[in-house]
Amino acid sequence: MNKMITLEKNNFLYQKIADNFENQILTEILKSGDKLPSVRVICKQYGVSLSTALQAYYFLESKNLIQARPNSGYYVNYSSRRFSTSDKSTQPSLNIDDNLADKLISRVFQEIARHDETVMFSLGVPSTDLLPVAKLNKAMVAALRELPASGTRYEHIQGNIKLRKQIAHWAYTWNGKFTESDVITTAGCINAISFCLSSLAKPGDTIAVESPCYFGVLQLAKSLGLRIMEIPTHLQNGIEIDELKKAIESKKINICLLVSNFSNPLGSCIPTENKKEIVKLLEINNIPLIEDDLYGDMYFGKQRPQTCKTFDESGNVLLCSSVSKTLAPGYRVGWVIPGKYKDKVLNTKLYQTISTTTLTQEVIANFMENGRYEHHLLKMRHALFGNCLQLMRAVNEYFPENTRITKPSGGFMLWVELDEKINTAALFEQALKQKVSIAPGRVFTTQDLYNNCLRLNYSWIWNDKIEQAIKTLGAIIHKMLKQS
Amino acid sequence: MNKMITLEKNNFLYQKIADNFENQILTEILKSGDKLPSVRVICKQYGVSLSTALQAYYFLESKNLIQARPNSGYYVNYSSRRFSTSDKSTQPSLNIDDNLADKLISRVFQEIARHDETVMFSLGVPSTDLLPVAKLNKAMVAALRELPASGTRYEHIQGNIKLRKQIAHWAYTWNGKFTESDVITTAGCINAISFCLSSLAKPGDTIAVESPCYFGVLQLAKSLGLRIMEIPTHLQNGIEIDELKKAIESKKINICLLVSNFSNPLGSCIPTENKKEIVKLLEINNIPLIEDDLYGDMYFGKQRPQTCKTFDESGNVLLCSSVSKTLAPGYRVGWVIPGKYKDKVLNTKLYQTISTTTLTQEVIANFMENGRYEHHLLKMRHALFGNCLQLMRAVNEYFPENTRITKPSGGFMLWVELDEKINTAALFEQALKQKVSIAPGRVFTTQDLYNNCLRLNYSWIWNDKIEQAIKTLGAIIHKMLKQS
């Protein structure tokens, strides 16, 4: 605790200066290409040392908001034109299942362990450069030493107790108050969601989800025989509560699943007041809420957004998450805080898999101790925000004029809406030939929607190859537009 | 290949001598307490060197078939009295589900990661002493070095390709001819079974299983909403084919699950001819067969038993197994060879968990290379057979006269039938108080059966503590008999 307070004090001055400029850039008071005051002017203006002024500029540079030009100074390197208007919502129709997207989804999914030269904008996989591999290996060596029989034994069914303590502790960042007995570990977040759905829903039941919705969830729900009801969703504020209400009134909904923070694929974030209202609405109607908070720790703003679970007094919310986006997808370490459904979910885990991998749980527990996770996330958020801004800039630069994009405030995903004449399923195939992989919009729905949309993942360190890949995509889209 | 041939040649003489004695002991031509010929007599009789004669006796001693007494020589240390007659079968009634055993199962299962002083005869968990922990750690260090990003990345959905090659290669031991593309890795054997059931069965479907049946399978099937049909099962030869036929004729059976080799809990092993017949019967009736071959590698005889999958020409058999009993339960590495159901099972894996742990798959692949697995299994089978004989001896010694036991020819499990007046659920509770844990027979059925039976696991290196635990059990049973 003391350590964190000290950290904040040291950061205070340069951070304050950087924040000022960041606000001016994001609100376009300072526009792309504008020259910033010299470092000496900053020193005078804020009464700070040269090193503090430089630190502020380095910070902004690391976020890709500004750029140094040799012998000239710092310039704004960011443009926010063409964001989607914030009052737009998607308009799915009521519950028309189909299977047309399945083949497309399989093609996208198959790439998950691809190690060739293809630039992968298609999957929410973090770049290895963003992961603390060396530190995890150190924690691994410690785990091999500390665990009985080096982790060859079965772990407790509920999960490694050290890890569960760390997860419960970490929940404080979103005002969750839990102990290790509230947590069940899983083999990743989708595995947690799978356990929840298997425990609470039966074939023929209806599940309400956002539209568009992560294709993995759609496929899982369909494989369990569930009927999917896609609810209109605001590009920035997530699911439309009034539409959810209407759906509940008009039809039996058995379960609801939401990605509350920096959703996949929209990057939307449900405002705190809406979260409270959703929790209440579902509780009154006796509809369990599975909350996918996989991206919640990767916020670009000043504060970790809260969760629906934060406001869950009755235990009706099952919060699912993992370290697959922040530390190590290949470790398969995730968790669920299942509230009053704990016994059911624990039994499902036991029946389907007994326990999850002993060793990787211990490694993550080791890593989360002593503030290492927080330290790592600080750096990662920073890098992601920089990547996000670069991607937005590049899309603005290379894609046609009438392209519309979201404005993520966290997470991994940029949602792009192209001219209505462009079919992004065709774009996917054409781009793949040129070694660029995207996620076409059609895979995020069971309906005939989002055919002109795509999702781009910016969890890769920006470099010339990625810049070129976006340029290639832009060129294909331009060509498709001409041919249409 | 050359290596193995050489090995056989070197072993030939002492092995031949040992085999002779083993046969005489197992058929009770030589009885417990009988003195064996002196080493010099053996030299003369067989025309071998002193060292070869000693090797034969050491081998028999390591199997706990004989015992050296100081300044006296070698004595037989084995008795087979009171084995169950081999023509006995279980007699479950038709398909009467119940939930009475659930609480009992939970109590037994909860102990899986127990690290206290309790002697655990209740779960099929191998003793750490039997596992090659140091060698696995070496393979782990190599895996961390060799894997891209030290295994933090997602593995291919189907599984680590090196591991799949090793598994396909290993299938040669039971005459299976497969390639890596036929194999899907899973998080253990029950996870493989869970994927198969999720892929092929829907709620309300009926699954045919052996009776008694591993409680994990019963719980899993019930949690998926399946109706369970228990088929009469021979204590040595597994499921009764005529009874299975009758069941198929009288009722719609959608799926069948069998533990073909050294079943849990009976230790029964389906004869080769029966395996062929079962495969044909189920194929004709279009009933997929999930074959659990978890214990197949741990045979006490001369040959690895074949599997149903060996005789599967149409791809109707889904063979499931893992290294949880032989190398590392905590690694969660298993697999399925799903035949013609591959796409379905692969999709289920993808939807429920994306991929399984990258690192532990690579470690097992490393370990299986270069004949290390075979070498380890040789030692492990040996130790298990010794433990099995010790357990049988101790049960004979300490349990009441009318106790009946099976005669395992492989695996981990001894099935014990007590006087009908003894309720083993009560025995479980009383024994637990004295720090001995057993699996009561009632947990292996959905019916009101096997209440006077129990399953004992002998995958623990025999020592005084275990001897004492069996003595304690015997004393409790004697007391219960007196009170009844």
Kindly state the average pLDDT of the residues B322-341. Answer: 97
Q: Are A53 and A155 part of one and the same domain?
A: no
**Low pLDDT (below 70) residues in chain A:** 1-12, 78-87, 93-100, 110-116
Reply yes or no on whether the pLDDT at B465 is more than 80. Answer: yes
Chain mean position to CA B176: 19
CA distance A311 to A176: 9
Whether the Cβ atoms of residue A455 and residue A416 lie closer than 8 Å to each other:
yes
Residue by residue, DSSP assigns B165-183 as HHHHHHGGGGT----GGG-
Nearest-CA distance from A460 to chain B in Å? Answer: 14
- Residues of chain A with Cβ-Cβ distance to B190 below 8 Å are 351-354
Q: Are A362 and A419 part of one and the same domain?
A: no
DSSP 8-state code for residue A299: B
Amino acid found at B198: S
Reply yes or no on whether the pLDDT at B82 is more than 50. Answer: no
Give the domain-ending residue among B372, B390, B422. Answer: B372
Task: Note the pLDDT of residue B116.
Answer: 66
Extract the tokens encoding A193: 């969601």
Extract the tokens encoding A135: 């530190």
Q: Are B195 and B298 part of one and the same domain?
A: yes
User: What Rg value do the Cα atoms of chain B yield, rounded?
Assistant: 23
Q: Give the CATH number, domain containing residue B422.
A: 3.90.1150.10
Q: Are B191 and B302 part of one and the same domain?
A: yes
Q: Are A38 and A117 part of one and the same domain?
A: no
> Is the omega angle on the peptide bond into residue B148 within 30 degrees of 0, that is, cis?
no
Q: Total structural domains in chain B?
A: 3
Residue with tokens 């929840």: A196
- Residues of chain A with Cβ-Cβ distance to B155 below 8 Å are 113, 330
Task: Note the pLDDT of residue B123.
Answer: 83
The residue among A2 and B159 whose pLDDT is bigger is: B159
Using CB atoms, pick whichever of B136, B149, B348 lies closest to residue A128.
Answer: B149
Nearest-CA distance from B111 to chain A in Å? Answer: 8
Nearest-CA distance from A45 to chain B in Å? Answer: 46
Task: Note the pLDDT of residue A111.
Answer: 65
Q: Are A414 and A362 part of one and the same domain?
A: no
Which residue range is the domain that position B461 belongs to?
102-130+374-483
Pairing mode of beta strands B238-239, B413-417:
unpaired
- Residues of chain A with Cβ-Cβ distance to B354 below 8 Å are 112, 188, 190-191, 216
| A89 falls within a domain | no
Interchain pair A149, B157: CB under 8 A: no
Q: Are A214 and A318 part of one and the same domain?
A: yes
Measured on CA atoms in the order A187, A190, A194, A200, is the torsion positive or negative? positive
Interchain pair A353, B327: CB under 8 A: no
Q: Give the CATH number, domain containing residue B249.
A: 3.40.640.10
Reply yes or no on whether the pLDDT at B4 is more than 90. Answer: no
Nearest-CA distance from B267 to chain A in Å? Answer: 22
Chain A residue with CA closest to B190: the answer is A353
CA distance A394 to A387: 10
Whether the Cβ atoms of residue B176 and residue B297 lie closer than 8 Å to each other:
no
CA distance A12 to A360: 37
| B167 falls within a domain | yes
| A84 falls within a domain | no
Q: Give A262-300 pLDDT, tens digit per residue.
A: 999 999 999 999 999 999 999 999 999 999 999 999 999
Task: Note the pLDDT of residue B111.
Answer: 65
Q: Are A363 and A390 part of one and the same domain?
A: no
**Average model confidence (pLDDT) for chain B?**
89
CA distance B154 to B356: 8
Task: Note the pLDDT of residue A3.
Answer: 34
Q: Give A341-368 pLDDT, tens digit per residue.
A: 999 999 999 999 999 999 999 999 999 9
| B83 falls within a domain | no
Q: Are B438 and B383 part of one and the same domain?
A: yes
Q: Are A309 and A216 part of one and the same domain?
A: yes
Give the domain-ending residue among A42, A76, A110. Answer: A76
| B96 falls within a domain | no
Q: Give B103-131 pLDDT, tens digit per residue.
A: 777 777 766 666 567 888 888 889 999 99
Chain A residue with CA closest to B155: the answer is A113
Interchain pair A191, B352: CB under 8 A: yes
Measured on CA atoms in the order A73, A74, A76, A78, is the torsion positive or negative? positive
Reply yes or no on whether the pLDDT at B189 is more than 50. Answer: yes
Task: Note the pLDDT of residue B301.
Answer: 86
For residue B239, give the nearest of B92, B420, B455, B439 by alpha carbon: B92
Give the domain-ending residue among B76, B92, B113. Answer: B76
Q: Are A479 and A418 part of one and the same domain?
A: yes
Q: With the CA atoms of A101, A102, A107 and A110 taken in that order, what torsion angle do they form, in degrees rounded to the nearest 10?
A: 140
